[in-house]
């Protein structure tokens, strides 16, 4: 009985981890897509966004291409300001 309970808890834990990974991947892709869309609408290059946001070009590239799946709120805030939008606009569906 105890082994069954332990195995069940282990499976729950694994499913929870899979859920979190999926959630953050989807959120990261949403942020990346929104930054790219807003940047294109403004006609800004990646370099211009990096310069205006006072972050490295590498940071902007990694967030926009989804490589950085957990950007800091500070980076997102700077990028949002550089793009003339709110952080919420970067997080929207």
Taking only the tens place, the pLDDT of each residue in 40-86 is 999 999 999 999 999 999 999 999 998 888 889 999 999 999 999 99
Look at the alpha carbons of 75, 78, 84, 87 in this order and tell me if their dihedral is positive or negative: positive
pLDDT surpasses 70 at 4: no
CA angle 54, 55, 58 (to 5 degrees): 145
pTM of the model: 0.74
The radius of gyration of the chain from alpha carbons, rounded to an integer in Å, stands at 18
Per the model's pLDDT, the better-predicted residue between 33 and 10 turns out to be: 33
Going from N- to C-terminal start, the domains of the chain cover: 2-91
Query: Domain 2-91 adopts which CATH fold?
Result: 434 Repressor (Amino-terminal Domain) (1.10.260)
pLDDT of residue 23: 67
pLDDT surpasses 60 at 34: yes
| CB 79, CB 55: distance < 8 Å | yes
């Amino acid at each position: 009985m105890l082994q069954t309970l332990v195995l069940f808890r282990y499976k729950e834990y694994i499913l929870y981890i899979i859920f979190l990974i999926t959630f953050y991947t989807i959120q990261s892709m949403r942020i990346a897509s929104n930054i790219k869309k807003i940047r294109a609408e403004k006609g800004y290059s990646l370099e211009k966004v990096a310069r205006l946001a006072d972050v490295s070009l590498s940071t902007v590239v990694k967030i926009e291409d989804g490589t950085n799946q957990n950007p800091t709120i500070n980076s997102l805030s700077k990028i949002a300001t550089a793009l003339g939008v709110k952080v919420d606009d970067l997080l929207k569906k």
